[in-house]
């Protein structure tokens, strides 16, 4: 395998076949079977990617020598489109199953040819009009009073069709809008509704963890995210920290939920108190990964905290059911202290304005400066007295003011 780095105007890549970031496209794929001999000729379906996260699957009926990174002209309706091959071989079928594409209903079109210079130039001219088209499309939608937002516009490679991605909370009747768009832009119009998470994936960006957004790099199916996962992980319910760039709850809140669900499956119910001979204890907090529960003698505030394991809590609950009340819970007193580490910050906890200097009040600073100036300056009465005291008569000057000759 060629392991030399190749630098081009788009990115750095390992080789044209297997590197996961062969271009500036989103949702990259690593073709780890590209150099295996048994993978050759196993499937004639290739994955082609277009602008941002849009992908399609096409038949290589002409048996063209396609590999990852090759620009191709593919069949479209109408005309043709220009895209880049991102995956070949048997992994394409696995990718289709991952994306839940039903091969019996999905229309797999054909790859026409490897894109020529004329094809690439024509596609570049079409894509250059997308920004201006999007701005104009937003103005037209607003003039018609439609409650929708045009998030992105994508021109087909031959310039005959445009896909208008929009976001709307409810159902939108855009039949009149399509007529206005067709008359204004002189192309075939296709409207495609997307969600806030899909829009964030198309735009891209960097998350608070310092990595690229998951919806831009690998995530294609979006699951619903609720605050229950945050509560299960004992996270602070701060909307500013739980929300991502799409203004929705972060998708990464679901990543560790199965681990926490498995950890708390042996915990007793939260609303079950523990009875002792002298007090009743209520559940105050839990630490699923340590398997510990903290109980308080007051249901509202932390008082007389006792830290128990799940088995200890179950033993006391079973004893209470038998009518027995132990003298005490027998747990550790107080909340366990976490070991000190050099850096306590977690993802998203730093304030963006932490480097900004606090502005002092200019009025106080001006008043202090004026007070120091007045203190150092002599008073006007003393200055006049000193001037009259130090002023001596000149014996060489006559009374009329003229000097003697």
Distance in angstroms (rounded) separating the CA atoms of residues 270 and 284: 9
- Six-digit token string for 158: 């031959």
Q: What is the pLDDT of residues 104-132, one digit of tens each?
A: 888 889 999 999 999 999 999 999 999 99
Whether pLDDT at 351 is above 70: no
Q: What is the pLDDT of residues 2-59, one digit of tens each?
A: 444 444 444 444 444 544 444 456 777 777 766 666 666 567 899 999 988 888 999 9
Distance in angstroms (rounded) separating the CA atoms of residues 201 and 237: 24
When mean pLDDT is compared over 26-35, 289-298, 322-331, 338-347, the highest value belongs to 289-298
Whether pLDDT at 183 is above 80: yes
Distance in angstroms (rounded) separating the CA atoms of residues 316 and 395: 114
Quote the mean pLDDT of the chain.
79
Average of pLDDT values for 195-213? Answer: 87
pLDDT category at 204 given cuts 50, 70, 90 is confident
pLDDT category at 150 given cuts 50, 70, 90 is very high
Whether pLDDT at 165 is above 60: yes
pLDDT of residue 85: 92
Whether pLDDT at 285 is above 50: yes
Residue 257 belongs to what H/E stretch?
helix 257-263
Residue 217 belongs to what H/E stretch?
helix 214-217
Distance in angstroms (rounded) separating the CA atoms of residues 162 and 182: 10
Whether the pTM exceeds 0.75: the reply is no
Q: Domain spans of the chain? A: 6-115, 125-199, 223-263, 274-333
**Who has greater pLDDT, 338 or 202?**
202
Residue 175 belongs to what H/E stretch?
helix 175-185
Classify residue 159 as left (phi > 0), alpha (psi -120 to 50) or beta. Answer: left
Whether pLDDT at 347 is above 80: no
**Who has greater pLDDT, 331 or 124?**
124
How does 39-48 read in b/e, with b if 16+ C-beta sit within 10 Å? Answer: beeeebbbbb
Average of pLDDT values for 267-275? Answer: 90
Query: Residue 306: beta bridge partners?
Result: 295, 333
Kindly report the CATH class assigned to 125-199.
alpha beta
Q: What is the pLDDT of residues 46-96, one digit of tens each?
A: 999 998 888 899 999 888 988 888 999 999 988 999 999 988 888 888 888
């Amino acid at each position: 395998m060629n392991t030399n780095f190749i630098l081009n105007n788009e990115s750095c890549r390992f080789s044209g076949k297997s590197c996961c970031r062969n271009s500036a496209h989103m949702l990259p794929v690593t073709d780890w079977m590209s150099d295996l001999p048994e993978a050759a000729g196993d499937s004639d379906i290739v994955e082609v990617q277009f602008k941002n996260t849009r992908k399609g699957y096409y038949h290589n009926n002409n048996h063209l020598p396609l590999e990852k990174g090759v620009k191709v002209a593919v069949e479209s309706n109408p005309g043709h489109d220009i895209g880049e091959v991102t995956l070949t071989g048997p992994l394409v079928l696995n990718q289709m199953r991952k994306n839940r594409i039903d091969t019996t209903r999905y229309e797999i079109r054909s790859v026409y040819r490897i894109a020529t210079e004329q094809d690439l130039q024509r596609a570049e001219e079409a894509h250059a009009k997308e920004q201006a088209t999007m701005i104009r499309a937003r103005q037209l939608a607003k003039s018609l009073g439609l409650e929708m937002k045009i998030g992105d516009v994508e021109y087909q490679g031959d310039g005959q069709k445009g896909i208008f991605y929009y976001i709307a909370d409810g159902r939108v009747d855009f039949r009149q809008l399509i007529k206005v768009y067709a008359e204004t832009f002189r192309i075939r119009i296709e409207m495609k509704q997307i969600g806030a998470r899909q829009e964030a994936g198309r735009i891209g960006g960097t998350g608070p963890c310092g990595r690229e957004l998951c919806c831009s790099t690998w995530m294609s199916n979006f699951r619903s995210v609720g605050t229950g996962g945050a509560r299960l992980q004992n996270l602070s319910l701060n909307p500013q920290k739980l929300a991502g760039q799409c203004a929705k709850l972060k998708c990464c809140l679901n990543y560790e939920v199965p681990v926490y669900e498995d950890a708390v499956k042996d915990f007793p119910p939260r609303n079950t108190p523990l009875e002792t001979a002298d007090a009743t204890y209520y559940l105050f907090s839990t630490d699923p990964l340590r398997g510990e529960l903290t109980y308080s003698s007051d249901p509202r505030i932390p008082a007389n905290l006792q830290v128990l394991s799940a088995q200890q809590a179950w033993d006391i609950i079973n004893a209470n059911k038998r009518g027995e009340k132990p003298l005490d819970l027998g747990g550790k007193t107080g909340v366990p202290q976490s070991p000190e580490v050099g850096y306590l910050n977690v993802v998203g906890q730093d304030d963006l304005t932490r480097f900004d200097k606090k502005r002092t009040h200019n009025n106080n600073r001006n008043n202090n400066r004026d007070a120091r100036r007045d203190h150092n300056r002599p008073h006007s009465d003393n200055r006049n007295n000193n001037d009259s005291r130090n002023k001596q008569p000149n014996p060489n000057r006559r009374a009329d003011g003229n000097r003697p000759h």
